[in-house]
Amino acid sequence: MQYQSSAFRTWHRWLGIIVGVQMVIWAISGAYMVIIQLPFIHGEHLTQDADGDIRDASLVTRLPAVLDRYPQAIQVQLVNRLIDGEPRDLAQLHSDTGKFLVDVNTLAPVELTANDIEALAAAYYAKGEPNIKGVKYIEEAPPSELNERFLPIWQVNFDDFGRTSLYLHPQTGEMTVRRHDFWRGFDIMWMLHIMDYKDRVDITTWWLRAFIFATFAFLFTGTVLLLQTLWASRRKPA
């Protein structure tokens, strides 16, 4: 049996030059994403709930008054949150435009200070002693790890393994976004995997599609070669 050489091999090699590097990138990024557990990437181990038990349930009787003052509310919650260094029962109002905290007694909105945010972040932090490096209020130009739609937001940075950053809601102090180095690595791998090097979200770029089509050809030629070689080595006695 004689095989016509090498058309498939030539094609396989030249296609390899075009898609080979991307195949390696797909393999590396895929392996990273697959091996490191997704809940860990999401940083679920980084934080815990920090809201306390509601101390005085009878405060619900104040809620009609709260609604009178803020009639735009579409949802009202009674929560217990760490403000001014102590857990306080507060009303959290949701409206079409956002959410905020209200003192149920004075009906005044509760403004969170950097100190409040730092204390809340320390309470959310679940990796032991919180070692806070800095607290920053971000109104524009978010870091690449944060989607613009979250702005404005509080960023709390920790000096720990993985350089944890927690992002807290500016009006309610709720835990909103968790980031650490493994997430950042995942994000880079995801970028490489989908080949959207700018916004890291578009999975439909023409070059991604083109590379996938080239990969089909690459696989096809490789398969032909594989079958040829296996067939040949089965015949080869020595």
Number of residues that bind another protein (CB under 8 A): 74
Is residue 14 a contact point for another protein (CB under 8 A)?
A: yes
143 binds another protein (CB under 8 A): no
Would you count residue 18 as binding another protein (CB under 8 A)?
A: no
The amino acid sitting at 56 is: D
Compute the distance between CA of residue 208 and CA of residue 189 in angstroms, rounded to an integer.
Answer: 15
CA distance 57 to 79: 10
Closest approach of Cβ 131 to another protein, in Å? 27
Q: Which of 47, 69, 77, 151 binds another protein (CB under 8 A)?
A: 77
CA nearest to 229, candidates 6, 32, 68: 6
User: Phi and psi dihedrals of 80, rounded to 5?
Assistant: -120, 110
Contact flag: residue 53 with another protein (CB under 8 A): yes
Dist. CA 121–CA 115, nearest whole Å:
10
Closest contact distance (angstroms) between CB of 135 and another protein is 25
Candidate segments 112-120, 147-155, 163-171, 216-224, binder of another protein by CB under 8 A: 216-224
> Using CA atoms, how far apart are residues 79 and 159, in angstroms rounded to an integer?
30
79, 122, 146, 177: residue in contact with another protein (rule CB under 8 A): 79
Stretch that binds another protein, among 7-15, 117-125, 143-151, 165-173 (CB under 8 A): 7-15
Query: Within a 10 A sphere around the Cβ of 191, how many other Cβ atoms?
Result: 17
Q: Is the peptide bond before 152 cis (omega within 30 degrees of 0)?
A: yes
The yes or no reply on residue 229 touching another protein (CB under 8 A) is yes
> Is residue 45 close enough to count as binding another protein by CB under 8 A?
no
The smaller minimum CB distance to another protein, of residues 6 and 115, is found at 6
